[in-house]
Structure 1
């Protein structure tokens, strides 16, 4: 990453940090873009160079994870079974989480707390997740040489993979640390892989 890109990334993270703190301190609805920008000493116009809206801030981690999964899916050999390829993508997200800094971990946990305290934001996450699944289904259909609008199996394969991620992230909760979440995700992936008959996704 060049100096210019590094500076932009630092600004992006500063905006995200300020927003998450304000959301948790005074509520999501009560926080304005102007307040977030002021906390970072930038103009609202500069804010919109990095994020399209407050909602975009809430979905930033989702966008990041989607990017990792789609990039991984595109790089996995074409002869890899579809579900196995998706599990590589999920493991890539786990690897990214494992390599995160303490500051990254705190951002992630703050976002989880924000969603817990503002259930209406969960709808944004669910809708964003549906977009991700559609993009992944298109890639899986391309690997199978089928039309995603006609191939139900490609959507089912993606749904199974993403449900594995959801279960791993959400239940059962223990101490709530990022390390615990990563361990639970690994356990859930292993459970899914041994529960499905080899070749079911072909």
Structure 2
């Protein structure tokens, strides 16, 4: 059971996180200072650093939670599922859990606005790609463990995750430039693109 002290710390962290994302998405990541984030919550800069290593840490805090939830969902998939199906189903069937993870700390709408800010901010986009590479390596090792293969000797786990990660990146780019801002649109777009992977890789694209 959460103690009063723990509840207060959690609420302070969440307040700082919401303030940071609101400022990042309204006035810009580069233009926002840590002092402004702390001032928005009426705490000191020192208090901010008790919860976050810096602005980048705050910018990706919610995303880090969703990544952890997704990795956990992949681990929990039935062992008989093929690797690509396990990745697909973990994403699609775990969507509600991922959404609940976001909603537990910030409004979904704010998280989605931050997602678009990441795509349009070079420093954040570079960090996002770096973080994605690290998550893909974790997923490759999870798949290797599931399948009983050596991730460093067998290229298939990393290849499967690279294909899946590529679909996610295409989906992100498409969604970030579309007018449909809803959370469900990301899920549907991802499902549609994942369904086309087989034909895109092995099919004949030319029409007679």
C-alpha displacement of 1:170: 2.6
Gaps of 5+ in 1: 198-202
- The number of equivalent residue pairs is 197
5 Å matches for 1:15-164?
A: 15-96=16-97, 98-99=99-100, 101=103, 104-164=107-167
Equivalent residue number for residue 200 of structure 1: none
Partners of 1:169 and 1:184 within 8 A in 2: no
Partners of 1:98 and 1:179 within 8 A in 2: no
Partners of 2:25 and 2:114 within 8 A in 1: no
CA offset digits 1:157-187 (Å, max 9, x no partner): 1112222222333326242222322322232
CA offset digits 1:38-89 (Å, max 9, x no partner): 2111222322232221101221232112111111122222232111111122
C-alpha displacement of 1:16: 1.7
Partners of 2:16 and 2:38 within 8 A in 1: yes
Question: Separation in 2 of the partners of 1:98 and 1:193?
Answer: 28
After the TM superposition, which segments of 4 or more aligned residues of structure 1 sit over 6 Å from their partners?
Answer: 193-197
5 Å matches for 1:9-20?
A: 9-20=10-21
Change (3 A) 1:6 1:80: farther
CA offset digits 1:114-161 (Å, max 9, x no partner): 224422310000000000001111111111222222221110111122
More deviation in 75-84 or 174-183?
A: 174-183
Question: Separation in 2 of the partners of 1:10 and 1:185?
Answer: 33
C-alpha displacement of 1:193: 6.5
For the pair 1:178 / 2:178, whether they are aligned, the reply is no
Question: Separation in 2 of the partners of 1:121 and 1:57?
Answer: 11
Could you say what secondary structure the match of 2:107 adopts?
Answer: helix
